[in-house]
A = this chain, B = another copy of it.
Amino acid sequence: MRLRPALLAAFALALVARADEGMWTFDNLPLKTLKEKYGFQPSQDWLEHVRLSALSFGGGSGSFVSRDGLAITNHHVGRGWVQSVSGPGEKDFIKHGFLARTRDQELKIPGATLRTLMAMENVTEAVNAAVKPGMSAAQATEARQNALKGLREARGKATGLAYSPVTLYQGGEFWLYGYKVHRDIRLVMAPETGIAAFGGDPDNFTYPRHDLDFTLFRVYEDGKPYQPAHHLTWGTEGVKLGDLTFVVGHPGSTQRLITHAQMLHARDTTLPARLASLETMRQQMKAFAAQSDEHARQVNTRIYGIENSLKALSGYLRGLKDVEALKGIQQREQELQAKVATDPKLQAEAGGSWKAIAQALAQTRDLAFETRYVSARYSSLLPVAVNLVRVIEEGAKPEAQRLKGYRAETELKTMREAALRPLRAGNAELDGFMLRKGLEEVEQALPAAHPFRKALLEGRSAGEAAKSLETSKLADPEVRRALIEGGAKALAACEDPIVRVARRIAPMLAAQARRQEAAEATVAEHGARIARARFAVYGKSQYPDATGSLRLTFGPVATYPANGTLQQPFTTFHGLYDRALAWGPEAERGAWSLPQRWVEAKEKVNLSTPFNFVHAVDIIGGNSGSPVLNAKGEFVGIIFDGNIEMLPGNFYYDGKVNRGVTLDARAIREALEKVYDAGFLVDELLGKR
């Protein structure tokens, strides 16, 4: 019974081969693939049901899961809302969790809205019809935008829905998505952050995981629970290794269609520069933290934030360093180029665009180094001073000659107001420390003759310059007001050390920004040409890059090779306690510290209950909170992360290792019943009440 190796081997192979790429729009699903690979043919009702059960949570995703409008998303998606109704002590629902035992206790979230996608209309023809022969590229873009705006308003008036324009295939298609907006959202249940984000920053982006990362809200209308036309049925059977799953949600953005040259530029220039900056900042913060326990307390959250960024960017970079993957991308690009070359019209439009992008990037290669140092980041007062200088200098010029952002009178007014605003109270000790460290960096990285170094240090050592800059009085809004009122003359006469530096570096920063903008404009213009050519060649046989619009992706529950072995497809409650016990409550700022309720629950829960699982689905940031469905369209889990191998998914999909990480619906049910004594919610989710 135990060994059926050949079958298992074939099965494992199939799991790998089956991984399916694509974040598909609902109007263009790969139904043929679904049928051929999985023998699955969703009906139109199935598709409409899952689409109308889905919810947009702004930057995240969610779904209706009960007749009376229970809406589920990730705890980390709903966290801000939970925070907004929290208070001190017992009312710190982020820390202690929250449970409304009656509907009366459900807490209204001020200003919260949710959206259901009710209508999708392809308006490409109408939009493109607005472009008249002889229009320049800029005029054409404006004409399209105006057309889209007009259509959007008309549809809104006609239907009462809130319409958003959706641009797919980088301009290949224009759509209007019409949403029903829900404006009365109340908090029903939130677990403690300690279990919702068990493993904390270290485990973020990784698997195996043990996170109860969900929150329940309820949508109200006219003071009563809203009964949506569609909500997902709770799947009671769960999934197993190899089972097909679907994810319906709002992936935010991907860059899979940028050119090979852009990927190399990110790999060799921009990402290493950003990583180096972050690493420097991390080390500076660590040096500050090492000075005392109190300093450590002050900056540890920032350090972890930086480390999370380092983790994410390193993941991107690792993806771009995958020689095989990049070769594939280059080959597909060459195939497209060859197809474009066979069509004189396309060739005239986009044939030279790959080279144009590569050249624009080559010309800005030094900027990545330059912007690391030539910047106003060294002190929180320096950006304030640079803005002040600009408000005065640009304000004195005629409108046409002004810098971007200071051009129209309204812009200028906004900037002037910003210049006069009181500053948020900062951490003076930390600021001073970081200022000295920053100036030391400049001292080490830039030659003495570099104009920026000369402007910043004025020939002094980093320490002396820092001491001088710290005597600035610019934190006082009245000092700034006096300068603005005094105009160019007062500015020129001002001997405040920060102002003195700002006067000299403002033009350097402006020149830098102009170079950056020029390159970006070239890349944008030729990127759009390539996108149009690609759409002309491939049409909708490919999926569009993620844009935050609703998508469907699918694939089986699947293991993947990592760490010298195969990663387990599921974790269980046993794994949760294993990890908590292995580390103890104090390790890594309590990352694996269980809330007391969970310590006590160990004797009550069925420890064999599946907790999280991995599946071969193509997801990205924004998919957080997406419902995971089985082939029946039932809710079997909620996606909350990807594995560390998912990060290159920003640039390309690698089905061998890219996995979504999902909280199993069975874990939610077990927790509600046994840990939170909230059987009444389970009954509602199961449709029993």
Contact = CB atoms under 8 A, between A and B. Distances in A.
B589 A8 contact: yes
B206 A565 contact: yes
The contact size tier of chain A is 35 or more
Contacts of A123: none
A311 B577 CA distance: 30
A563 B644 CA distance: 7
B241 A577 contact: no
A568 B579 CA distance: 7
Nearest to A561: B202
Contacts of A643: 564
Contacts of A610: 582
A295 to B, nearest CB: 8
A3 B589 contact: yes
Contacts of A292: 6
Interface string A1-22: 0111111111010000000000
What are the 3 closest A-B residue pairs judged by CB atoms, nearest first? A6-B296, A564-B644, A575-B578
Contact of A2 (B311, B575, B593): B593
A584 interface: yes
Most chain B Cβ neighbours within 10 Å, of A10, A315, A575, A593: A575
A205 interface: yes
Contacts of A46: none
26 contacts: A2-B590, A2-B593, A4-B293, A6-B289, A6-B293, A6-B295, A9-B286, A10-B290, A12-B588, A199-B565, A206-B564, A315-B564, A562-B563, A563-B563, A564-B644, A568-B583, A568-B592, A569-B583, A570-B581, A570-B582, A572-B577, A572-B581, A574-B607, A577-B608, A582-B610, A607-B607
A83 interface: no
Nearest to A569: B582
A203 interface: yes
A376 B581 CA distance: 55
B293 A565 contact: no
A667 to B, nearest CB: 13
A61 interface: no
A660 to B, nearest CB: 15
Contacts of A582: 568-572, 575, 610
A305 to B, nearest CB: 14
Contacts of A608: 577, 581
A539 interface: no
Interface string A219-258: 0000000000000000000000100000000000000000
A385 to B, nearest CB: 34
Contacts of A8: 586-589
A199 B566 CA distance: 10
Nearest to A294: B6
A7 B293 contact: yes
Interface string A287-312: 00110110111001000000000010
